[in-house]
Structure 1
Amino acid sequence: MLTEERQQYILNTIRFKGIIKIKDICSETRCSESTARRDLQQLEEQGELLRVHGGAKYMNSLQEEPAMNDKVSRNVNAKDHIAQQAVANIQVDDVIYLDAGTSTLAMIHHLNPSYNLRVVTNGVVHASALADMGIQTYLLGGNLKGTTKAVIGPEAVKSLEEYRFNKVFLGINGVHPKFGLTTPDPDEAVVKKTAILQSEESFILADNTKFDHVSFARVGDLSSATIITDQLTPSVAEQYQPLTTIQEVQS
């Protein structure tokens, strides 16, 4: 395989999955490990990706925010495992908040309708799915964001301030040891931040590709919520575990 073809394979894979491993590059393109590392170095120098231990991950911009339809197809298995772990934290008669992320959307079909839950959400897709399951659902009012189908803005924040929750579950775009929890849209960041303030317990659902990423708008410190994620590399786990509570799903 030519260098251009091999590097295009790397970029296509990393844009779809968010991460790629050196061993997978070698097996799929039949190249040596040194060649794979050289490709990753060149692509990092071009600003296409960020090298990590054993591979590389997608280099996102501070303002990048994929549409809902694009996010649904990314890291499907990891999101489902994380969603199952998140649901395991829910108890009978809980009042919970689900924000409009695809990770929280994956939680819904794992919910038990017999738990007598009351769920508030700013996700239009989420509200529809919850109603279909016969779960008591409240949809926040406000401005509807076309790309993520999230309800945001001052009205949504004002509505949230009238509620109290046992638990909130939020998606996030960036998890970083210095900059904390971040997301591209300042309006969505305010909604997430308000939800955390209104809850007894807060949970962030973030697959391992979100770690070491930074987006434009800050939501809060790492310590403001428990982070539920899939399997982290030992070096990443060692870096983040002193900073927050992590529930790591073994896949």
Structure 2
Amino acid sequence: MFPLERQKKIVELLMIKKVMKLTELTKELNVSIDTLRRDISLLTKQGKIEKIYGGVKIVEENFGESTIDERMVSHLKEKETIAQKCSEYIQDGDCIYIDSGSTTFQIAKYIKNKKKLTVITNSIPVILELLNSDIELIIIGGKIRRDERSVVTYEYLFNFSQLNIQKAFICASGITIEKGISDYNMEEAITRKKMIELSNEIYVAADSTKFGKNVTIGIAPLSEIDYVITDHNINKLFINQFKQTNTNLIVLEA
């Protein structure tokens, strides 16, 4: 493993576990303590991690959700791979919901050639991406969140009950076995809850950094989710835990 790959892995492990002992990291990465210390020294100088007695911890840069612009470029390769896999579940003639979010946005790039497809969304970037395609577009009506480039709505603003959605592709900021999927914004959560309620099949598209986090607002337990699609960097602990649930965890190859 190259130094940059190793350092990336250290940060990703700490994003899940928050705090790790040096002995844990040497075993996880299969490196010597001297090599690990060089990586830790560099990551500390970059402000990504912080040394503590006997170990290291992640530096929380944001107390809450990062901006949509930051998320659009963060873990981009993984998100594109997840989105491409999601597109394989979308068939000609489907009526689908694409959530606002940096991972679900990528799905729009892979479905432009689908026939007789209807896309319902609250994502302005998704609308712009598909505007010149032959896809039937429905954007839910409501209040625009400029910072998220999304639309949030309530029953009195938009008649959700008229929608007949076969598949919903939902994003999440946190996923745990105990609490299911969660997010930071109450208004976004209301829309996601409603779409999960109305859709026949629920797909959660989330990169591996979202696992092990339970953030501000609970959206749905795993019992309401049919599929979770993620990248190969997911901790094996979560793979084993998902085997005890009825939710299908799809882990993509490197």
Q: TM-score, normalised by structure 2?
A: 0.77
Report Cα offsets for 1:107-157 as digits up to 9, x if no partner: 111114342100100011111111122311011110111221111131587
Once the two structures are superposed, the pairs formed by residues 1-251 of structure 1 within 5 Å of their partners are 14=11, 31-33=34-36, 42=51, 49=58, 59=60, 64-154=64-154, 158-225=158-225, 226-231=227-232, 232-243=234-245, 244-251=247-254
Identity of aligned residues (%): 20
State whether residues 140 and 153 of structure 2, in contact with CA within 8 Å, keep that contact through their aligned partners in structure 1: no
Report Cα offsets for 1:174-231 as digits up to 9, x if no partner: 0012221100011111110100111110100011110001110010001211101111
Residue 32 (structure 1) shift: 2.3
> For this pair of structures, how many residues does the alignment match?
226
State whether residues 87 and 111 of structure 1, in contact with CA within 8 Å, keep that contact through their aligned partners in structure 2: yes
Residue 106 of structure 1 aligns to a residue whose secondary structure is helix
> d(CA) in 1 for partners of 2:201 and 2:156?
20
> d(CA) in 2 for partners of 1:59 and 1:148?
21
Residue 127 of structure 1 aligns to a residue whose secondary structure is helix
> d(CA) in 2 for partners of 1:247 and 1:157?
35
Residue 167 of structure 2 aligns to a residue whose secondary structure is strand
Report what 1:4 is aligned to: none
CA spacing shift, 1:18–1:87, aligned 2, 3 Å: farther
Residue 159 of structure 2 aligns to a residue whose secondary structure is helix
Residue 97 (structure 1) shift: 0.4
> d(CA) in 2 for partners of 1:200 and 1:135?
20
Q: Show structure 2 runs of 5+ residues with no match.
A: 1-6, 18-24
CA spacing shift, 1:88–1:109, aligned 2, 3 Å: same
Letter in 2 for 1:42: K
CA spacing shift, 1:119–1:167, aligned 2, 3 Å: same
Q: Show structure 1 runs of 5+ residues with no match.
A: 1-9, 50-57
Letter in 1 for 2:77: N
RMSD (Å) for aligned C-alpha atoms: 3.4
